[in-house]
Chain A
Amino acid sequence: MNEQLKTDPTKPAQRMRAGGMTITLLPWIIAIIAMLLLPKIFTNNSALTIMNQMSITIIFALAYNMLLGQGGMLSFGHAVYAGVGGFFCMHIMNMSDFFAAMPLPILPLFGGLFGMGLALIVGAFSTRSAGTVFAMISLGVGELIAASSVIVVAFFGGEEGISGDRTYAQPFFGVEFLQQEEVYYLTAAWVIISAALMYAWSRTPVGRMANAVRDNPERAEFLGYSARWVRYYSFVASGFFAGVSGGLFAINYEILTEENLNAYSSGIILLVTFLGGVGFFFGPIIGAIVFTLVQTVLSLQTELWAFYAGSLFVATVMFFPGGLAGLIMMHVPAIKLGKWRLLIVPYFKTLLPAAIGILGLCALIEMIFHYRHGATGDNEMTLFWTTFDSHTIMPWIIAGAIAAIGIGIAKMTAPDLKDAWNEANTMGGQS
């Protein structure tokens, strides 16, 4: 697996990893204030639900990135640790005597401990090697536990899963967590705590050694560190935080099913993390926010949201392995050189037509979909606030023209953007 280290330092966008992970205090304060203020701005319940979903995904994606980004271990079954943590939390919720004496906010801690317990067992044999063997064991164990969830009805509740009621917990300073907003603040507090802890972990010697083992296990071994144990520690810590996210899921939705464990959930978290960018600590956070928005907002607009999400994912892997975070951090040199203003106009000239062209393309895709799968006789469709008949030729010509012209202009102006980019990243010259 030594070949996976090839990164070209001259192409920041193509770097899958490396780069600064150091974060100053300021972003944390901004994040805390933003999380406190958000429910004041978006007060309706559906927005709160989306934000809760986002927070849970953030913790899970950060935990996943402890493996993929920081440890170089690709897991195809990580949903299992979140799921099992969540199931244990659900069982605690249903133990009425014990649960009535426990304040709800510490419940995710138990989820974390049980997720960690499972990781302790599985990691004992799966972390012996990284790369393909690890990926395959994670897939196998993931499928095993997901499949046994249907069989072991006593613990996993079979097909319909198990459910509980969070309000039976001991009131926490008088708060019973009946309202969605109260749950939001609980989740937000856990997001901040977990993110801070995970960041602190990446700063510890163990966290730094995880990077070393990821990049060159042999050399780390020569320095006297056991690559296997370093991987094991990362794996166990990642299992803990995954379990925390599972516990929060249990509190938020009050039901867990086989869906929380299966390969689909594991795949989604890989997608989220990679989309955000595995090379930077904050990458998975961006990924979680963007993906949750795509999932919730876009899925209301179109049936094809998964198709768009998949296309976005494949495009990210092909063209920007650094993910969204990599794209953002690409601009740091230009900003440091004070030349980022040079980029504004070319960006405007290229990206705006490209965006319009892509929207035209999406319109074509939607129309094809409607043409093929719409009910017979139902020729009317609404797209971008206009209603038209999808069986006449005119809308097709318009959408096709928009797509062709938009992408055409973007292609024409792309060389200018490239020149401007080179100019902005070159030291010296007029600024």
Chain B
Amino acid sequence: MDLILVNLIDGLVTGLLLFMLSAGLTLIFSMMGVLNFAHASFYMLGAYFAYSISLALGFWMGLLIAPLIVGVAGAMVERYGLRRVHQYGHVPELIFTFGLALLIEELVQFIWGKNQMPYDVPDILNFTAFAISGNSIPAYKIFMIFISVAIFIGLLYVLTKTRVGMIIQAALSYPRTVEALGHNVPLIFMGVFGVGTALAGVAGVIAGPVLGTFPGMAFVLGSIVFVTIVIGGLGSLWGALVASLLIGWITTFAKSYNIEMENVLNAIGIATPENMDENMFRDFWSLTSPQIADILPYILMVLILIFRPAGLFGKRTQ
């Protein structure tokens, strides 16, 4: 029971982190109709900028300034890159963001090198918040949860309760009408892109010390973020939240409980074959859940795409 509680907290941290990335990505998708492959790269940039700033000004200034820089960089990419490619169609747009992801990774290696950066949890948060039957929960995890929840509530408030949010929502569904009413829609798009990438930047700043700040960090998380928003339904903020938490918990639980395929198969009445060494499926029999934890989201996504292509909360488009 205690272990379940610990896993729930761990999964929540992972899920909320994923949500900070997928929220921006799904907003950008509903706006421009293109999946931003470089989204996780902005997350990486956030971590690296924050590390460089924290060397001079400390962790908190990094948390404040790095997302701003990332957001401005994202807005520039939209203004001078994506908007240019937009005229050629969706596939070149997708390919452009893909190329950008490659380029940013090379750029990061160019500036900071290939090694992991010594970006650590600030001293003030480096203590154990509480312990559940011997499993200590670091304060930094609680801090991550609070930051993510605060951002989610803030985002929800801005999008649904303020005038700016109303205009953004209207521009997402009827850009031409909103433009006819006198609003600068390209500017709104640029702003949303900037905010979305800034959110990814925040995620990078707070995840960098725990998950490590290294050139492959975008690649590790990148495709999982797509999986998240595809499962949640493209363009749905609630879907992104539910899918993020789902993936966070599924992977955490699969990793901490060692469920073996052999036991599962025996339980449903299939006997273990006699001589395992010559059996073609010997690797299948010896599968364990920690082994497949990282590919569970992909399995889930493929199944969702086959049986419910619009995703869990997505609207049917065709």
Contacts and interface: CB of A to CB of B under 8 A. Distances in A.
A6 B95 contact: no
A234 to B, nearest CB: 15
A148 interface: yes
Interface string A121-153: 000010011011101110111011001100111
A154 B283 contact: yes
Interface in A302-346: 304, 306-307, 310-311, 313-314, 317-318, 321
Given A314-B99, A317-B99, A74 B94 contact: yes
A136 B228 CA distance: 11
13 contacts: A5-B89, A68-B91, A125-B306, A132-B234, A136-B301, A137-B302, A137-B305, A144-B302, A267-B102, A270-B95, A307-B107, A310-B99, A372-B113
A129 B223 contact: no
A202 interface: no
Interface stretch (B190-198, B267-275, B290-298): B290-298
A108 B305 CA distance: 33
A263 interface: yes
A143 B292 contact: no
A40 interface: no
B89 A317 contact: no
B287 interface: yes
Contacts of B18: none
A16 interface: yes
A72 B95 CA distance: 13
Contacts of B299: 144
A74 B91 CA distance: 7
Interface stretch (B49-57, B80-88, B121-129, B237-245): B80-88
Given A16-B88, A76-B98, A263-B219, 4 more contacts: A136-B226, A144-B298, A144-B299, A270-B98
A4 B309 contact: no
Nearest to A134: B305
Contacts of B219: 263
Contacts of A125: 306
A66 B107 CA distance: 32
B83 to A, nearest CB: 11
A141 B295 CA distance: 10
B236 to A, nearest CB: 14
A274 interface: yes
A342 B231 CA distance: 56
A1 B88 contact: no
B58 interface: no
B283 A153 contact: yes
A372 B108 CA distance: 13
Interface residues of A, number: 53
A152 to B, nearest CB: 5
A203 to B, nearest CB: 24
A136 B91 contact: no
Contacts of B113: 372-373
A143 B298 contact: yes
B277 to A, nearest CB: 10
A304 B114 CA distance: 12
A267 B98 contact: yes
A152 B90 CA distance: 37
A143 B89 CA distance: 26
A65 interface: no
B92 interface: yes
Given A137-B305, A144-B302, A151-B292, A307 B91 contact: no
A324 B298 CA distance: 35
B152 interface: no
Nearest to B302: A140
A369 B106 CA distance: 12
A143 B90 contact: no
Contacts of A318: 81, 84-85, 96
Given A133-B309, A140-B302, A270-B98, A154 B92 contact: no
